[in-house]
């Protein structure tokens, strides 16, 4: 059995802090969430590799640095509520749950959603709610949100997510005209009708599929 606690510390030091992640809450969350729980059994020895890993259903668990970068970009406070689009393995939601008061996460693949829920229960992470549905439409029932993070790349900013962002809230999302290459954008809602955008750099994510995203391919 590998010493996963040591590998987590090493990951935080060499993959995150050394590459510019500074938020102490993000670094601590990444230090305590057991990433090995969120990868397929045949990939557990690669849990702390500096790369994405396949998790089934054509989806991936993002590399640790990208999870940390997007989480830091949300600028979350401990009393805030965050919406995640694309639960996937559940790892990013678990990290968010160690920082924010409440995490709502939406996944379109029911098998992934149910597996993630089981992992949250196993770890005792009881401030995460999972919904199976079209993530491009958000989760209006719990809106507005202080932060929204999207773990798949869309062709444009989804209007439903902009609408569900509270004033002062931050949306972090990969956006681009290609299904396989995006720019990571941070959108701040400055007023009821005002938004400000920042480009945080180029990224590669799986496509954001749904009514306000890419169309599914057969």
Q: For residue 166, give the 3-state DSSP assignment.
A: strand
| Cβ burial 186-214 (10 Å sphere, 16+ → b, else e) | bbbbeeeeeeeeeeeeebebbbbbbebbb
**Active-site position among 51, 62, 89, 190:** 62
Q: Tell the residue number behind the tokens 């993000």, with chain if given.
A: 26
Strand partners, 181: 178
> Among this protein's residues, is 191 annotated catalytic?
no
Q: Are 189 and 169 in contact (CB under 8 A)?
A: yes
Q: Which residues are catalytic?
A: 62
């Amino acid at each position: 059995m590998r010493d996963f606690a040591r590998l987590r510390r090493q990951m935080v030091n060499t993959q995150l802090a050394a590459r510019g992640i500074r938020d102490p809450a993000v670094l601590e969350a990444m230090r305590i969430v057991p990433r090995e729980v969120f990868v397929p059994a045949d990939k557990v020895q690669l849990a702390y590799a500096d790369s994405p890993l396949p998790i089934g259903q054509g989806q991936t668990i993002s590399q640790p640095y990208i999870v940390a970068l997007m989480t830091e970009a949300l600028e979350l406070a401990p009393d805030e509520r965050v919406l995640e689009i694309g639960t996937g393995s559940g790892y990013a939601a678990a990290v968010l749950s160690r920082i924010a008061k409440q995490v709502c996460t939406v996944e379109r693949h029911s098998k992934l959603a149910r597996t993630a829920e089981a992992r949250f229960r196993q770890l005792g992470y009881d401030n995460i709610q999972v919904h199976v549905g079209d993530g491009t439409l958000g989760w209006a029932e719990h809106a507005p949100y202080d932060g929204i993070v999207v773990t798949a790349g869309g062709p444009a900013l989804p209007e439903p997510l902009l609408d569900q962002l509270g004033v002062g809230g931050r949306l972090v999302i990969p956006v681009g005209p290609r299904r396989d290459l995006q720019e990571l954008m941070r959108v701040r809602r400055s007023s009821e009708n005002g938004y400000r955008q920042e480009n945080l750099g180029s990224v590669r994510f799986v496509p954001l599929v749904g009514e306000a995203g890419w169309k599914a391919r057969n």
